[in-house]
Amino acid sequence: MAARDISFGSFNLYNLQSPGVAMYSGSRWTEEQYEAKIFYTGAVLKRIAADVVGFQELWAGEALREAMQMAGLDATHRALVPPGHPGNRIVCAGMVRMDLLVDEPEWIVDFPEDMVLASGGDDPQQDRIAVALTTFSRPVLHFTVQPHPDTPVIHVFVAHFKSRRPTELWREEWYEADLHKDHLNALGYAVSTIRRTAEATALRMIITNLTKGTNTPVVVIGDMNDGKLSNTLNILTEQPQYLTGLSEGGGDNALYTAQTLQEYRSTRDVYYTHVFKKERESLDHILFSQEFYDHSKRRLWAFDEMTVDNDHLNIEDHKATGTNDHGILRAGFRWKPAAGAVA
């Protein structure tokens, strides 16, 4: 790739933890299972060869560094892990080519102070609603990169939204088996959906504050636990229009999906990153602002190609093979400013 080109990857690590150390369920990787995970993770990182990778479900920073060493990337890339992270919870993390990183990374815990999810209803038949959430389930990683001194600084966010698995509610003080046991799934799914929706809204507000009325390039990487047409992604992307003339489109604070641009280049859509009950879905995403969108009048980088590493999803026993349970994405961009675009 040329000096101004750049590539991004998304990789859910499926609980990358040190061997013998407990995870949430109390389960632990054996030494053999851990070695398989390191071998697999390192092989994937070497194969996709991305400048920037966003990770989800990292427990132990040392395990990530060992996988990078296995891939031969420890001399060229830096692992981004929360300082002093004790390995007792999963975090969003990153891997960045050292010469690209601009400032020290940060992990965003709190929602914006001006985010309010409350309403008395906008018609007479609606009751009042209020959501009191104030933090991300997994703090969002934010850092900046610059491919070349002549290119703008790119803001990168790595996110992992609440899963679609139903929240376990049987421990709650209000829970009564006689009243609620037959409804735990429905109630749990609803709570998970509300939390994921709130997280998407909070990140959208952060991105809007950064991009509205500016020419700030932004890339969002992560396991959003929802598809590209879901309400979660609609909130996060602001549903931009894709089908415009060359160099005529672009939304000031919109986000575009690598999935959609790859589909425009394909005669058949076989994109999926997760399998559940034999349903193949796309839960992992690389999103980007108008500076990376082919048809934008403010385009600086042109979309090259997105690849999805997902053959391993046909393997049922991920523990034995060291594989993960999500597809791994890579999206490349070539420096190709539109006529009149300001770099």
Q: Lowest mean pLDDT of 141-155, 185-199, 306-320, name the range.
A: 306-320
Q: What is the pLDDT of residues 188-238, one digit of tens each?
A: 999 999 999 999 999 999 999 999 999 999 999 999 999 999 999 999 999
CATH superfamily label, 6-117+136-167+198-335:
Endonuclease/exonuclease/phosphatase (3.60.10.10)
- Report the C-alpha gap between 93 and 85 in whole angstroms: 11
CA angle 199, 105, 240 (to 5 degrees): 45
Strand order in the sheet with 328-335: 77-80, 91-97, 52-58, 6-16, 328-335, 301-309
Query: Alpha helices, DSSP H only, in the chain?
Result: 31-48, 61-71, 177-180, 184-211, 231-237, 258-264, 318-321
In the chain, what percentage of residues exceed pLDDT 70?
97
Parse the chain into domains and list their residue ranges.
6-117+136-167+198-335
Q: What is the pLDDT of residues 70-80, one digit of tens each?
A: 999 999 999 99
Tokens standing for residue 177: 């088996």
Amino acid at 322: G
Cβ pair 48, 286 in contact under 8 A: no
**pTM for this one?**
0.95
Q: What is the pLDDT of residues 101-115, one digit of tens each?
A: 999 999 999 999 999
Average pLDDT, the chain: 93
**Is the predicted pLDDT of residue 33 greater than 60, yes or no?**
yes
The overall longest dimension of the chain from CA atoms, in Å, is 67
Burial class (CB in 10 A: 0-12, 13-18, 19+), 133: middle
Tokens standing for residue 156: 């990168």
Residue 83 — very low, low, confident or very high, per pLDDT cuts 50/70/90? very high
